[in-house]
Amino acid sequence: MVTSSSLIYLIALPLFGALTLLLAGRRADKWGHLLGTAMSASSFGVGLYQLSQMLSRPTEERAISQKLFTWIDVASFQVDAGLLLDQLSICFVLLITGVGTLIHIYSISYMSHDENRRRFFAYLNLFIAAMLLLVLGDSYLTLYVGWEGVGLASYLLIGFWNQKPAYATASKKAFVMNRVGDMGLSFAIMIAFATLGTVSFAGVKEASEGASETALTAIGIMLLVAAAGKSAQFPLQAWLGDAMAGPTPVSALIHAATMVTAGVYLIVRSNFIFDAAPTAQLIVVIVGAITLLFGAVIGTAKDDIKKALAASTMSQIGYMVLCAGLGPAGYAFAIMHLLTHGFFKAGMFLGAGSVMHGMNDSVDMRRYGGLRKFMPITFITFGLGYLAIIGVPPFAGFYSKDLIIETAFNAGGFKGILLGSITLLGAVITAFYMTRVMILTFTSPKRWEENQHPHESPFLMWFPMVVLSIGSVTSGLLFYRGDALANWLNPVFGDHGKDHHEEHLFEPIVVSAMALTAVAIGVGIAIMKYQLSEIEAVAPQNVSIFTRIARKDLLQDSFNESVFMRPGQALTRLLVKGDENVVDGAVRGIGRTALGAGATLRRSQSGFARSYAALILIGAVVLIAGIWVVTL
Amino acid sequence: MTFVNPVLNYAQLAPILIVLAGAVIGVLIEAFAPREARHSSQLFISTFALVAAFAALMTVRTQSSVDAAMGSVAFDGAAVLIQASILIISFLAIFLIADQENFTAMAAAVPGSEEERQSLQKDLRVTEVYPLTLFAVAGMLIFPIATDLITLFVALEILSLPLYLMAGLSRRRRLMSQESALKYFLLGAFSSAFFLFGVAYLYGYSGTITLIGIQESIVGGSGNDIFLLMGIAFLAVGLLFKVGAVPFHAWTPDVYQGAPTAITGFMAAATKIAAFGAILRIFYVGFANAEWQWKPALVAIAIITMVFGSVVAITQRDVKRMLAYSSIAHAGFLLAGVIALSKSGLDSSIFYLFAYGVATLGAFAVVTLVRDSAGEVTDLNRWSGLGKRSPLIASVFSLYLLTFAGIPLTSGFIGKFSIFSAAYESGSTAILITGVLASAIAAFFYIRVIVLMFFKDPVEDGTSVVIPSALTTIAIAVSATLTILLGVFPAPLLNFIETTAFFIR
């Protein structure tokens, strides 16, 4: 493989920014945001340079690596810290640094009134560096470092306004639930090392060919646990809604475009494991399918614009996970949806931030309405993202979601029909709740107080939104034409990436028609329910039990509290008691016994040489007797 | 009978000869040099002799032979490692001995007499301690390489006699110091008699005094087994006495407490290495094939020693006595390496001996620093709160205690771990279980001292930590550094021992 010494700059630049801003302290308040943005932009520049270099090389030489240092060298356990830039990671590098830079620019204005803006940019840079390490690491252990790094950055940014106890709690919740996933990743690494003897991607790939399916299934399931934690997939999804406590740019960057898709990256990167472990693959599909519907249903009931978008993110990642679980046929499409989603969802989050900016930080959509007139740019860019996510041609989401639905139907047999139907149902609900967001915010009659003065956001905020909306419009076609992205990614998935156009349950055109029908149904219901009827400014309370459950996030928190938290607390109390009585008791008991024995035995130390000599004599006699007895 | 002109390999004997020469020069200095010049020249001669001996040892480190002195000594990997350890420890010990505050002004003066008062007034020094130390070191160098029983006995006496004298040199509580010296001498003579008795029985059994010859007789199985077992038992008594294994340990606490602390440190560290070196050679080379006869008895002694040393240490109120019992417990742990009777047993014993020796010397060096106006303070109650007054010294002492307790990241942990693994591999599960339990008990009293130093309020009675002399500082710094290094990066030394240590037969 081609080696390069410049990969480290991708990570080093934002890391340098983060350290400078954190160490310089208040002195950097005046220029901190500029340095942060510059570092992110330079990293993007290095990424573009690497892409141009990669394009100039023949297909088989496109992946490049850089060995940094020998990290661990203990007997048979050897890990080099190294970076790997291939066709898959370059996609992520450009997404992270590109969207990241736009969000840095947006934040300059969005956070301009916050006295801790410098610290905010430090954390953003830290996040970029960690996320790049995550996607550039050439082993599971290096990935793990980045994985923990983004978890830390996410925790710091969700709780950025931690003077509000609820926000601090939200960041803690996200951190704890992510730890569950992280345990999965560390178990996966341990199992991989124990059974395959290596933790590098290349090494595991090679070793997985001869490995037992049981081991690979165990690794796969543990990787899925990790992915579920980071990507807010069932059953570790509950933290994402609360994570909206962070400033909106954070929600756009970390909790929509990049970090939450790390789980999809992990599954796709580990394709060689999942391909050889069908059971694990099936569980991936099931988790994706459940989350897809779960998130969509929650999305229909949310009046908080950010939480509605968060539920939508959960649901869209469900699509990606489901698709990644369908094996070689789906990897490229999962990544394609991930990239298009990165554009339109980040754009919509920034739009939501722009709306909040104009509405005194209110997030209640029932208090919005009629904002189309006051915020035309926000309306148009958000609208383009909206058309993309519900899947209207020729916007980006149409191509990527269509391919996922098609792949799901092609999974074969009953499974294919079931999965296809679920993805279609998801499309209906997606169209419904996104239309609802559009209507409540922009097109319905105004429901805000007279003292509100909605206004368009400044240039620094709407410029990134415009750029992202261009991506929402064009990226789908760009990736789709001539299977551009699929062909590009093919070398990463080995030889079997291309054999998926054999059996069709439906012709592609039929699938597209069904998807469009689904979208039309969803949009139609939403228009009837919201555009054509009165919207109450306060959420009605006399609603069906299903609505109430949906509003309570399908009882995810109640479930976690009663199944994990309370028994966990009880177990902790029990263990503390056990520690005090049993362990400490035993320790104290040993201490007392030994003390007593010592006090008795020390009397043998009389100080008289004659007694000592006698003791030696007796000892010698006993020794001889002992040896004699043994010999007999 | 014709006299055979002995053929000697001087290169391999050079370390011993250099140390002996240093000792003889030291005696001459005592006899002829003016009083003022003695201390510095003695210090120079002894350090020079030890460094030169170490250098001489390094030049022949890869050689091995059994005929360096007509078959009386064996020179092999284990010999080099053990001799090197003894020389390093002795070198550091000389630095402690150089701090003459702890030594009497005139050893020959009767305690409390006019002569003693005058000698104190004149600020005399007992510089004869240097040649005595060198004689003891020479004996220690011969002891672990001797391959016949007479050479063994001679070496044992060469190393013991100076130690008996040195134990009586303490400046304060001289009566107690002299009492301990006399006790040590009496009991030492008693145990030497056992040793010699054992030699006689073994000669009676095999008709030879060489370890190889005894080994061949055991293999041949022609001798009288009663003689063999009497011989092994009596020889063991003499050897186990030297390392302080129960029930031959009784002298240890009294002598450790009575002797000047620097001498105690030297004795505890270097004697243990030399004596275990000899025990390892005798049992691995001479008695290996009589394993089934001596092993059960030695297992019993090891277990009793570990438990006794650990349990009795708990009730000690004097830091030197506590360290004495700790050294008894360590003798038990080290016997586990002898019982293992395997290559890994040998390797781990050598590592353990070096690590333990270094830490012990450092611990006693710290003890010399805690003083009041009348001299060293060894009462543990008066050590309370020491960590608040002298955090650095208290931390270093805590480090030694932790390594004695075998806490990870110290050399003691690696030593205990490897020696117990070796014992377990050879099938001595009982040793493993008792060893771990005894370590747990031992941890109790080591950590109690740490708690005492750091979490109790200081007592206002004039106890303080004096500023150590440059040489003492070096000794403490080196031993503390080695203790941490061997705990964190033990692999280089472990690997080196593994590739080097062997017994030539």
pLDDT digits (tens, 9 = 90+) for A190-215: 999 888 888 888 888 888 888 888 88
The whole-angstrom separation of Cα A482 and Cα B317 is 87
pLDDT tens column, A415-470 = 888 998 999 999 999 999 999 888 888 888 888 777 778 888 888 888 899 998 98
- Pick from A46-50, A235-239, A425-429, B427-431: least confident: A235-239
Is the pLDDT confidence value at B293 over 80? yes
**Closest Cα in chain A to B195:** A620
Residue A497 is predicted with a pLDDT of: 46
Mean pLDDT of B305-331: 91
Whether residues A594 and B308 touch (CB distance < 8 A) is answered with no
Whether residues A616 and B187 touch (CB distance < 8 A) is answered with yes
Whether residues B314 and A607 touch (CB distance < 8 A) is answered with no
Is the pLDDT confidence value at B429 over 70? yes
Is the pLDDT confidence value at B464 over 90? no
Q: Name the region of A367 (left: φ>0; alpha: ψ -120 to 50; beta: rest).
A: alpha
Distance from CA of A204 to the nearest CA of B (A): 29
Closest alpha carbon to B325 in B305, B301, B339: B305
Strand, coil or helix: what is A295?
helix
What residues of chain B lie within 8 A of the CB of A589, using their CB?
none
Mean pLDDT score of chain A, rounded to an integer? Answer: 86
Closest alpha carbon to B233 in B295, B190, B285: B295
Distance from CA of B470 to the nearest CA of A (A): 37
Residue A529 is predicted with a pLDDT of: 83
How many interchain CB pairs under 8 A, A with B? Answer: 92
Closest alpha carbon to A395 in A478, A309, A290, A305: A478
Residue A113 is predicted with a pLDDT of: 85
Mean pLDDT of B301-305: 94
The DSSP line for A391-442 is T-TTSHHHHHHHHHHHHHHTT-HHHHHHHHHHHHHHHHHHHHHHHHHHIIII
Residue B464's DSSP bridge partners are B371
Whether residues B233 and A590 touch (CB distance < 8 A) is answered with no
Domain locations in chain A as residue ranges: 161-553, 559-630
Strand, coil or helix: what is B172?
coil
CB B304 within 8 A of CB B246: yes
A594, A612, A627: residue with CB nearest B187: A612
- Pick from A314-323, A560-569, A608-617, B245-254: least confident: A560-569
Mean pLDDT of A582-586: 79
Residue B393 is predicted with a pLDDT of: 92
pLDDT tens column, B383-424 = 888 888 888 999 999 999 999 998 888 999 999 999 999 998
Q: Given CB atoms, is B61 within the 8 Å cutoff of chain A? A: no
- Pick from A37-41, A312-316, A579-583: least confident: A579-583
**Closest Cα in chain B to A593:** B311
Q: B-contacting residues of A 613-632, CB under 8 Å?
A: 613, 615-616, 618-620, 622-624, 626-628, 630-631
Residue B463 is predicted with a pLDDT of: 80
What residues of chain A lie within 8 A of the CB of B296, using their CB?
626-627, 630
**Closest Cα in chain B to A600:** B312
pLDDT tens column, A475-533 = 888 888 878 888 888 888 865 544 555 566 778 888 888 888 988 998 888 888 887 77
Q: Which one is predicted more confidently, A542 or B65? A: B65
pLDDT tens column, B4-19 = 788 888 999 999 999 9
Residue A387's DSSP bridge partners are none
Q: Which residues, at least 6 apart from A455, have a Cβ–Cβ distance to it below 8 Å? A: A358, A374, A375
Is the pLDDT confidence value at A542 over 80? no
For the record, the structure tokens of B286 come out as 């001479």
Is the pLDDT confidence value at B381 over 90? no
B190, B233, B441: residue with CB nearest A623: B233
The whole-angstrom separation of Cα B269 and Cα A335 is 67
Whether residues B247 and A626 touch (CB distance < 8 A) is answered with no
Is the pLDDT confidence value at A536 over 80? no
Place of tokens 């998130």: A295
pLDDT tens column, B18-56 = 999 999 999 999 999 998 889 999 999 999 999 999 999
Closest alpha carbon to A394 in A463, A342, A435, A340: A340
Residue B323 is predicted with a pLDDT of: 94
Q: Which residues, at least 6 apart from A77, have a Cβ–Cβ distance to it below 8 Å? A: A193
* A149 — pLDDT class (breaks 50, 70, 90): very high
Q: Given CB atoms, is A74 within the 8 Å cutoff of chain B? A: no
Mean pLDDT of A609-615: 87
Q: A-contacting residues of B 212-241, CB under 8 Å?
A: 225-226, 229-230, 232-234, 236-237, 241
Strand, coil or helix: what is B15?
helix
First to last CA, chain B: 29
Is the pLDDT confidence value at B450 over 70? yes
Q: Name the region of B173 (left: φ>0; alpha: ψ -120 to 50; beta: rest).
A: left
The whole-angstrom separation of Cα B232 and Cα B283 is 9
Whether residues A623 and B237 touch (CB distance < 8 A) is answered with yes
The whole-angstrom separation of Cα B174 and Cα B184 is 15
Residue A72 is predicted with a pLDDT of: 67
* A303 — pLDDT class (breaks 50, 70, 90): confident
**Closest Cα in chain B to A628:** B229
Residue B448 is predicted with a pLDDT of: 87
What residues of chain A lie within 8 A of the CB of B253, using their CB?
605
What residues of chain B lie within 8 A of the CB of A599, using their CB?
315
Mean pLDDT of A136-157: 91
Q: Which of A587, A590, A600, A612 to mutate to test the interface with B (most CBs of B within 10 A)?
A: A612
Whether residues A594 and B310 touch (CB distance < 8 A) is answered with yes
Distance from CA of B198 to the nearest CA of A (A): 11
- Pick from A397-406, A423-432, A527-536, B190-199: least confident: A527-536
B229, B237, B311: residue with CB nearest A616: B237
- Whole-model pTM: value is 0.64
Strand, coil or helix: what is B2?
coil
Mean pLDDT score of chain B, rounded to an integer? Answer: 91
Q: Which of A627, A628, A629, A632 to mutate to test the interface with B (most CBs of B within 10 A)?
A: A627
Q: Which residues, at least 6 apart from B201, have a Cβ–Cβ distance to it below 8 Å? A: B227, B228, B230, B231, B234
Is the pLDDT confidence value at A75 over 70? no
The whole-angstrom separation of Cα A629 and Cα B339 is 19
Is the pLDDT confidence value at B125 over 90? no
Residue B462, number of CB atoms within 10 A of its CB: 11
Distance set, CA B225 to CA B147, B198, B291, B476 (Å): 22, 13, 13, 49
Residue B291 is predicted with a pLDDT of: 87
B182, B229, B310: residue with CB nearest A624: B229
First to last CA, chain A: 72
pLDDT tens column, B327-369 = 999 999 999 999 999 999 999 999 999 999 999 999 999 999 9
- Pick from A279-283, A595-599, B378-382, B469-473: least confident: A595-599
Q: How many helices (H) and strands (E) does chain B have?
A: 21, 3
pLDDT tens column, B175-188 = 899 999 999 999 99
Q: Which of A584, A593, A605 to mutate to test the interface with B (most CBs of B within 10 A)?
A: A605
Is the pLDDT confidence value at B481 over 70? yes
Is the pLDDT confidence value at A365 over 60? yes
What residues of chain A lie within 8 A of the CB of B315, using their CB?
595, 598-599, 602
